[in-house]
């Protein structure tokens, strides 16, 4: 994994992204050359902006593929699946380029040439992905790991390694049990305790050891062996770092407070604050302009189905525990909490109206919060703002819950795109683990990735 602005990015995905960037640049030149075989190829003094056109198309196509989830890899994907995922991305990139040509006349390519470029690019991406997925059948893309520990934490880490295959593949060599630890893994996966960790790693060609032990106190913990492994070029990580890297979560059930205090991240510098504010304003105003027609239609439908009011305001907890009034489209009936006690919202909440179910699925109900962003109460990306009634309860029941209030809440966020509606304390714990990851590792780079994931949620109806 690579670390880009504190966020873990798969080396495999990064390599594929770079290769496809080069394929798309080359496809622009080749497609234009095929279209202008009569000698009117635009790479001439008459069109000095052609390289900029090529870069723009490559960016549009990469954005389209990212927005449609093509960099969440499935190593068992075949030709048909790749083709069906690629075609909508090509159509979206064609539409983006048409808009760019209209807004920026200096960047131009004829419709026939653009169609040929899209065809060549699709062919290049398709062939490249087939070769990539075929090569993934070899052991070159596998990471071989050993787990130190054989208890419940080790089992949880191994399950994550086996099932989190969207970005890479793991080969689990086995588990090294600790003295006095109750085993939760198959006996056939236990490695012999007669050899040192470095000997086992070299014997099985392991590249990484994951320390998945709850209790590291006492003389039985092999700290010297782990140091020897590290000095021999074998990567050593603890369970908290493994979950942070693989699941984009900070697991509170296996978290030591000292790990948060002495670890990296939690950048709340002046430069980061100013940069995020500028990003919030630019992003919010752009999305407001694009989504204004959808908001007008949503407001009209809400009024026709259930009358006024179209909007509703509700008290939420923001940065440093300060409360503010959030603005949203009303998606529930006006008497949804007639008993007077706040209730958890759920994905199929019976209190929602017919229009409300649609606008919640498409996230349209969240769009009026752009005004909260402009006002400064919220950011565009951040933890979801919660009601004071639930915050008081969760701060008592959930460790580290108040840490999410160290930054502004957001319209969208990592927890919102990775997890469904929180309808219980247990759901709030799961979402908090994503929120803590964002608080620790937030950056403009991560904000952009979350925005792309949000688009996937809207397009495919995933998430909450």
Whole-angstrom distance, CA of residue 184 vs CA of residue 153:
9
Reply yes or no on whether the pLDDT at 324 is more than 50: yes
In a domain, 434, yes or no: yes
| Shared-domain flag, residues 426 and 281 | yes
Last-in-domain residue among 115, 135, 155: 135
pLDDT at residue 2, as a whole number: 73
pLDDT at residue 192, as a whole number: 84
| Shared-domain flag, residues 192 and 63 | no
In a domain, 120, yes or no: yes
Query: pLDDT-derived band of residue 293, with 50, 70 and 90 as boundaries?
Result: very high
In a domain, 253, yes or no: no
What's the first-to-final CA gap in the chain, in angstroms?
28
Reply yes or no on whether the pLDDT at 175 is more than 90: yes
> What CATH number corresponds to the domain at position 208?
3.40.50.720
In a domain, 91, yes or no: yes
Q: Are 321 and 402 in contact (CB under 8 A)?
A: yes
Q: Are 348 and 420 in contact (CB under 8 A)?
A: no
In a domain, 208, yes or no: yes
pLDDT tens by residue, 30-76: 988 887 766 565 555 556 788 898 999 999 999 999 888 888 876 66
| Shared-domain flag, residues 187 and 60 | no
| Shared-domain flag, residues 305 and 400 | yes
Q: Are 345 and 387 in contact (CB under 8 A)?
A: no
In a domain, 36, yes or no: yes
In a domain, 202, yes or no: yes
pLDDT at residue 333, as a whole number: 80
In a domain, 190, yes or no: yes
| Shared-domain flag, residues 227 and 274 | no
Reply yes or no on whether the pLDDT at 160 is more than 80: yes
| Shared-domain flag, residues 212 and 235 | yes
Q: State the residue range of the domain holding 185.
A: 142-247
| Shared-domain flag, residues 146 and 121 | no
| Shared-domain flag, residues 171 and 232 | yes
Last-in-domain residue among 247, 279, 307: 247
Query: pLDDT-derived band of residue 21, with 50, 70 and 90 as boundaries?
Result: very high
Mean pLDDT of 145-152: 92
Neighbour tally for 115: CB within 10 Å: 14
Q: Is pTM, for the whole model, over 0.75?
A: yes
| Shared-domain flag, residues 121 and 220 | no
Mean pLDDT of 353-376: 90
Query: pLDDT-derived band of residue 464, with 50, 70 and 90 as boundaries?
Result: very low
Whole-angstrom distance, CA of residue 306 vs CA of residue 302:
6
| Shared-domain flag, residues 131 and 147 | no
pLDDT at residue 137, as a whole number: 56
Mean pLDDT of 408-432: 83
| Shared-domain flag, residues 216 and 315 | no
Mean pLDDT of 394-418: 89
Last-in-domain residue among 91, 110, 135: 135
Mean pLDDT of 162-184: 82
Strand-pair partners of 175: 147, 190
| Shared-domain flag, residues 119 and 146 | no
The total of structural domains in the chain comes to 3
Reply yes or no on whether the pLDDT at 404 is more than 60: yes
Integer CA distances (angstroms), 199 to 177, 219, 444, in order: 16, 20, 42
Mean pLDDT of 354-377: 90
5 vs 305, higher pLDDT:
305
């Amino acid at each position: 994994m690579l670390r880009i602005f504190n966020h873990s990015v798969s080396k495999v995905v990064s390599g594929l992204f770079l290769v496809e960037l080069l394929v798309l640049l080359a496809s622009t030149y080749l497609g234009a050359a095929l279209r202008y075989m009569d000698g009117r190829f635009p790479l001439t003094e008459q069109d000095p902006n052609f390289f900029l056109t090529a870069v723009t198309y490559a960016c549009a196509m990469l954005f389209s593929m990212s927005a449609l989830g093509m960099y969440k890899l499935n190593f068992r994907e075949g030709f048909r699946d790749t083709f069906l995922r690629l075609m909508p991305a090509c159509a979206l990139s064609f539409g983006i380029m048409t808009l760019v040509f209209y807004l920026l006349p200096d960047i131009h390519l004829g419709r026939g040439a653009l169609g040929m470029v899209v065809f060549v690019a699709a062919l290049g991406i398709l062939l490249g992905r087939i070769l990539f997925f075929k090569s993934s059948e070899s052991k070159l893309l596998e990471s071989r790991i050993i787990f130190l520990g054989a208890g419940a934490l080790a089992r949880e880490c191994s399950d994550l390694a086996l099932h989190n295959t969207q970005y890479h593949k793991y080969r689990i060599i086995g588990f090294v049990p600790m003295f006095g630890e109750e085993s939760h893994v198959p006996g056939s996966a236990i490695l012999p305790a007669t050899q040192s960790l470095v000997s086992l790693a070299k014997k099985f060609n392991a590249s990484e050891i994951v320390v998945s032990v709850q209790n590291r106190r006492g003389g039985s913990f092999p700290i010297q062996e782990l140091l020897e492994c590290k000095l021999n070029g074998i990567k050593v990580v603890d369970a908290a770092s493994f979950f942070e890297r693989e699941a984009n979560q900070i697991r509170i059930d296996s978290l030591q407070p000292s790990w948060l205090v002495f670890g990296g991240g939690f950048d709340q510098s002046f430069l980061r604050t100013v940069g995020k504010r500028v990003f919030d304003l630019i992003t919010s105003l752009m999305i407001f302009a694009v989504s204004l027609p959808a908001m007008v239609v949503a407001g009209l439908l809400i009024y026709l189905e259930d009358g006024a009011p179209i909007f509703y305001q509700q008290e939420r907890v923001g940065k440093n525990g300060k409360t503010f009034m959030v603005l949203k489209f009303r998606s529930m009936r006006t008497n949804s909490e007639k008993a007077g006690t706040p209730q958890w919202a759920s994905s199929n909440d019976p209190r929602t109206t017919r229009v409300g179910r649609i606008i919640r699925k498409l996230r349209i109900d969240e769009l009026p919060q752009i005004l909260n962003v402009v006002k400064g109460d919220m950011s565009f990306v951040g933890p979801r703002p919660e009601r004071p009634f639930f915050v008081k309860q969760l701060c008592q029941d959930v460790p580290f819950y108040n840490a999410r209030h160290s930054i502004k809440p957001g319209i969208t966020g990592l927890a919102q795109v990775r997890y469904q509606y929180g309808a219980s304390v247990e759901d709030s714990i799961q979402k908090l683990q994503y929120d803590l990851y964002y608080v620790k590792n937030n950056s403009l780079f991560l904000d952009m990735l979350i925005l792309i994931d949000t688009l996937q949620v809207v397009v495919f109806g995933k998430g909450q």
